[in-house]
Structure 1
Amino acid sequence: MKLDLILRAAEILTMVRARPTVRAVGVIGGRIVGFDDEIAGLAAERTLDFGNACVTPGLIDAHCHTAWWGLGLTALDLSRASGLEELYAMVKAEVERLADDPGAWVHGTGFNPASHGGNFPDITRLDELTGDRPLCLRHTSGHATITNTATLRQVGVLEPGFASPEGGIVVRDGEGRPTGLIEEAAQGLVQALLVPYSTDRLVDALEKATTRYAAQGITSFSEAGVGGGWIGHSNIEVTAYQTAASRGRLHARAQLMPAIDALRPLRAHVRDFLGEGAGMGLDLGVGYGFGDDNVRFGHVKVFLDGSLLGATAAVTESFCGHDHNTGYLLDEPEAYRERALAAYRAGWPLALHAIGDAAIDLALDLIEEAYKRYGCGDVPCRIEHFGIARPDQVERAGRLGIAVAPQAGFIGPLGEQMAERVGAERESWLYRGRSVVDAGILLAGSSDLPVADNNLRRGMQSAVDRRTDAGSALAPAEAILPEEALRTHTEWAARATGQIRDKGTLERGKLADFTVFSGSPLTAESIAELDIMATVLGGKLSYDARAGVDPAGASQES
């Protein structure tokens, strides 16, 4: 027998406790067939020898926004502006660049009020700079958009009797005039002017994004919301992923979470849908897990509340500095109950976006009712973010056996702001790690790109040391061990996404997806300081730093 590939390294971490390390892996047909002595004496078409490097299972980002980030790579990077005058200068320069295209939008992403003394752009200044040109500046959280009067006029905000849509707010000043800030589901008003993006444009965005994923050692990701709501980019968004994969332009495996807005009522035989004959899903009964190794459906994504930075997350006690502001749920609890349970009984495990503790209460209620009425499925329901979690909620989540996907990568760049929002009494509840693991909850590692970057090494180190960029410790008792941090992006992420049969550990029969580090994440002084030497997807290099150019011929910029 001749193998397709033998991969060698001084240390290969399998994440399997019975055989934690090996030095050689054999691959046939994109899957692992054996290790060390099992492949001794066999020839191979190719050999990849990474010398003293450390190889791990391919890294998994369990919650990110790939299309959104890919589309935003050509937008103004507002995170580079310090002070509103710099932001205005960037907008002015972009307007001048677009002078020959009067209908073109000014797009920006990554706006963070903390870089501007807590202030937002003045709509009057934006109007002076943009005139009748449409404008869309995204808050770094993704849960708010800043725009101008011309755009507000297009979406009808200035019409008599206009009311903000359910689950969102068009913010107004004390005299009732729009400020240009649009929160949560109200962003759909602006999004409706932009979507649907063409499949070709989305394919380009996915290629740009996943080329950069490969450079970060990422082999799989879960796209947290496609096909509907203000998070979707096209009603046929899945086509873009399939097209990108078929054309060799998707450089990481995609698991797609349909937004619950993309689901519709389905009626089937009375014995279907757990004996109720009615549920919510996609046409033809396509459900969770449908697809192939490159593009597959995952959990259904449900937004329950907003963001911590934007103070729109639903909390039980007011945000610090925001008297009587406890955020808000994006719909009525009964409406969530009806739709979420209908999706669950149709076979969709739930991924419930819940940052504030009030939203987490609702998420736990929904999951517990789903489990009691219809049973626990093979794939755990999830709570996305689990951002401000009380001790009793951690204990309850453990009893339910769910998964959570907080973002340790937020701790560095956003930790100080998050701590200020909740105050000292609630700081220990933020984006937990240790208590989650100890409660028996699956802790899935995720970046939430583009809210924070997808340098997962930095995120893993943050999970270990809990240090903000300012040098303070955020809830240090929630620190986890380096091995646990690596498992959040390998084994535990695979279990939380329902893909442990194919990925997450290195075992015979699993996909030959590997990440090659310059040193061991288990023993390095800082995981963040390690380099990604190469990324292997299905036994083929998707990134190789040793050659200086990745195999796709694209930039290695991250």
Structure 2
Amino acid sequence: MIEVYLAKTIVTMNASWPEATAIAIREGKILEVGTLESLQPWLIRFEHRVIDTYRDAVIVPGFIDPHLHPSMAAVILPMHFITAMPWSLPWGHVPATVTAEGFDQRLAEIAKVEDDEVLIVWGHHDLWHGAMTRSRIEAVESSRPVVVWNRSFHELHMNSACMSFLNITEDIVEGRPQIDYARGRFFENGLGYAIQKLNPYILAEARFTFGLERLKQVVAAGGHTTVGDMAVGLFDFDRELNVTRALFENDSTPFRIEQVPHGAVVTHQRTFEETNAFIESLIEGNTPRLHFRKRIKLFADGAFFSQLAQLLPPGYLDGHQGEWLMAPDVLEERIDLFWQAGYQIHVHVTGDMGVEVALDCLAKAQAKKPRFDHGFTLEHMGYATPEQLQRAKRLGASVSANIYYLHELSARYAELSVGYERASTMGRLASSFALDLTTAIHSDFTMAPAEPLLNMWVAVNRVNAQGEVMGPHECISAEQALAAVTINAAKVLGIDALTGSLRAGKTADMTILSDNPLTVPSMAIKDVKVLATVFEGELTQALQ
């Protein structure tokens, strides 16, 4: 049977047929977009029903977050939040904590009432909460294991009780990179060691499943019909894959997950031929909602929230250096291997030096084996120069940016990290659109709320948490912002023939909104409500 949805406005993101008031769907596919009258050639021939529940609402293509981490979210969401920004989640509200004293007080309150075997809090940031150390944690709680996980997720601190509990000694970690035993600090690649020790706890079946269930609520509440898992294998590849399939591959999941393997994980102790065969086996095992394709995620420099991004001169105000997650020569080797094999390559880059290295690698790969429509994507792109964006255009790269960096961090980074100019121009979206770079925006949840309308609002207005407009020349239009969470996000994932816009023949993925984000005042975009989603033709009411 044909189902016809009526709406006040249907925004198609199809430039040749931009608006409509009716859309006809059959067996999960779009038959036609238009008006109830223009659909009559279908309706007079086939049984149909008209759904006018949303006749006063607005329909847009289903929102797409091309870069988040279900497994990371599943690990974080059961933690206790102490964050500098307020968080609104489907199950509750987290108030902002903006001082070191406030952080320690909140940690003490949590420690007093929670009896977790390992107490883990998430959200610490040095620029609000002060430097974290093992001794500082112990001044609050020393008798049982405590972990303070950084807002970036790329580092954590433990107290002595926790290191003893996990059998981490100075002798064992001596010589391991990016571990400061005296401070109880584990960061970037050193974090991987701490995670291995914590995995039996943070990946315990009940806890991990609970976290994924919460992630499912977050994705649905945001109005998503597609999300990208941009680094499968962050913790334990097989466990992540098996639990994700068990939880999400069923009719109660109103979205699909596009899965991109973590390059360092799938190549570990494998030849490239073995790696390629392994990824082919993952593709062969695709299910209706979970899809691997010929894509890979690689990493350049360190975390943006931790101020470990690699910067070109003049660098950071205090003169410290960023970190590499993957040494540039290793990154070049990996990019070359996957490029030669025809993969779509996504590279985590946060600083302009990270962008420079990634583009150097792309240029060498292109010189060796020219490719078109290759999908090489700069992921996050906190800092990039105008010249780098021009070079990215010449090389055929795309951009998937975390624009929420600007909202949460720009005021503090202007004063304490990189100065006003670079803090104001992080996330150069207008420049990217002006160059006709395929440009998407993502949440990297939990690095930003998984709320496309909120991230659109940041991209259009560039208003930070202190109410300042930062880099107004990099503001984009509401239509560009909507493209960044629909059709452009689909292009970044390589699925734009499937979804991302509303036209005949595409999958019926839609998000139903209370108002039109293209016509409301720009400062009201974040206040538009998600009423429902339609995923492959199936309607789901939104979580409120």
TM-score past 0.5 threshold: yes
Choose which of 310, 316, 336 in structure 2 pairs with 1:314: 310
Per-residue deviation, 1:332: 2.5
**Residue pair 1:241, 1:250 contacting (<8 A) in 2 also:** no
- The answer as to 2:472 corresponding to 1:472 is no
* Aligned equivalent of 1:23: 21
**Residue pair 1:513, 1:538 contacting (<8 A) in 2 also:** yes
- The answer as to 2:178 corresponding to 1:180 is no
- The answer as to 2:260 corresponding to 1:264 is no
Between the aligned partners of 1:29 and 1:513, the Cα distance in structure 2 is 12
Q: Which amino acid aligns with 2:228?
A: S
Change (3 A) 1:75 1:160: closer
Change (3 A) 1:18 1:542: same
* Aligned equivalent of 1:135: 146
Give the match's secondary structure for 2:195.
helix
Where does 1:74-85 land on structure 2 (aligned, <5 Å)? Answer: 74-79=78-83, 80-85=96-101
- The answer as to 2:476 corresponding to 1:489 is no
Choose which of 241, 244, 257 in structure 2 pairs with 1:241: 244
Between the aligned partners of 2:133 and 2:267, the Cα distance in structure 1 is 40
Residue deviations 1:324-358 (CA, integer Å, cap 9, x gap): x2312223222122223223333432111111111
- The answer as to 2:160 corresponding to 1:149 is yes
Residue deviations 1:130-187 (CA, integer Å, cap 9, x gap): 435333222112222122123345453522770233xxx224xxxxx62233221111
Residue deviations 1:271-317 (CA, integer Å, cap 9, x gap): xxxxxx94743527336797244111253111211123322111122
Between the aligned partners of 1:17 and 1:160, the Cα distance in structure 2 is 60
Per-residue deviation, 1:398: 0.7
Choose which of 101, 116, 119 in structure 2 pairs with 1:106: 119
- The answer as to 2:58 corresponding to 1:54 is yes
Between the aligned partners of 2:167 and 2:32, the Cα distance in structure 1 is 59
Q: Which amino acid aligns with 1:336?
A: L
**Residue pair 1:266, 1:278 contacting (<8 A) in 2 also:** no
Where does 1:410-489 land on structure 2 (aligned, <5 Å)? Answer: 410-420=405-415, 421-427=417-423, 429-489=425-485
Q: Please say which of residues 10-19 and 423-432 is displaced more in the overlay.
A: 423-432
Change (3 A) 1:109 1:542: farther
Q: Which amino acid aligns with 2:392?
A: A
Between the aligned partners of 2:379 and 2:284, the Cα distance in structure 1 is 19
Between the aligned partners of 1:354 and 1:513, the Cα distance in structure 2 is 30
* Aligned equivalent of 1:350: 345
Q: Which amino acid aligns with 1:495?
A: K
Change (3 A) 1:73 1:10: same
Between the aligned partners of 2:366 and 2:211, the Cα distance in structure 1 is 38
**Residue pair 1:156, 1:162 contacting (<8 A) in 2 also:** no
* Aligned equivalent of 1:538: 536
* Aligned equivalent of 2:222: 216
**Residue pair 1:62, 1:446 contacting (<8 A) in 2 also:** yes
Between the aligned partners of 2:383 and 2:270, the Cα distance in structure 1 is 38
Between the aligned partners of 2:290 and 2:278, the Cα distance in structure 1 is 18
Aligned length: 519
- The answer as to 2:253 corresponding to 1:250 is yes
Change (3 A) 1:292 1:379: farther
* Aligned equivalent of 1:12: 10
Per-residue deviation, 1:425: 4.1
Per-residue deviation, 1:379: 4.3
Per-residue deviation, 1:496: 1.1
**Residue pair 1:315, 1:359 contacting (<8 A) in 2 also:** yes
* Aligned equivalent of 2:299: 303
Choose which of 378, 400, 406 in structure 1 pairs with 2:395: 400
Per-residue deviation, 1:98: 4.5
Q: Please say which of residues 84-93 and 377-386 is displaced more in the overlay.
A: 84-93
Per-residue deviation, 1:195: 2.2
Per-residue deviation, 1:250: 3.3
* Aligned equivalent of 1:286: 281
**Residue pair 2:381, 2:427 contacting (<8 A) in 1 also:** yes
Give the match's secondary structure for 1:536.
strand
- The answer as to 2:176 corresponding to 1:164 is yes
**Residue pair 1:76, 1:90 contacting (<8 A) in 2 also:** no
Change (3 A) 1:319 1:347: same
**Residue pair 2:398, 2:437 contacting (<8 A) in 1 also:** yes
| Identical counterparts, % of pairs | 24
**Residue pair 1:260, 1:302 contacting (<8 A) in 2 also:** yes
Between the aligned partners of 1:256 and 1:363, the Cα distance in structure 2 is 22
Choose which of 502, 511, 518 in structure 2 pairs with 1:515: 511
Q: Please say which of residues 12-21 and 345-354 is displaced more in the overlay.
A: 345-354
Q: Which amino acid aligns with 2:20?
A: V
Choose which of 103, 111, 116 in structure 2 pairs with 1:87: 103
Give the match's secondary structure for 2:512.
strand
Give the match's secondary structure for 1:468.
coil
Per-residue deviation, 1:25: 1.1
Per-residue deviation, 1:202: 3.8
Between the aligned partners of 1:458 and 1:267, the Cα distance in structure 2 is 41
Between the aligned partners of 2:273 and 2:133, the Cα distance in structure 1 is 49
Between the aligned partners of 1:483 and 1:160, the Cα distance in structure 2 is 54
Between the aligned partners of 1:358 and 1:91, the Cα distance in structure 2 is 36
- The answer as to 2:331 corresponding to 1:336 is yes
Note the aligned Cα RMSD (angstroms): 2.6
Q: Which runs of 5 or more residues in structure 1 are unaligned?
A: 172-176, 269-276, 545-549, 551-555
* Aligned equivalent of 2:194: 190
* Aligned equivalent of 1:273: none
Between the aligned partners of 2:218 and 2:323, the Cα distance in structure 1 is 35
Change (3 A) 1:195 1:64: same
**Residue pair 1:151, 1:190 contacting (<8 A) in 2 also:** no
Per-residue deviation, 1:320: 3.8
Choose which of 358, 364, 368 in structure 2 pairs with 1:363: 358
Q: Please say which of residues 336-345 and 348-357 is displaced more in the overlay.
A: 336-345
Per-residue deviation, 1:34: 1.8
The two structures have a TM-score, normalised by structure 1, of 0.86
Q: Which amino acid aligns with 1:81?
A: T
Change (3 A) 1:75 1:200: closer
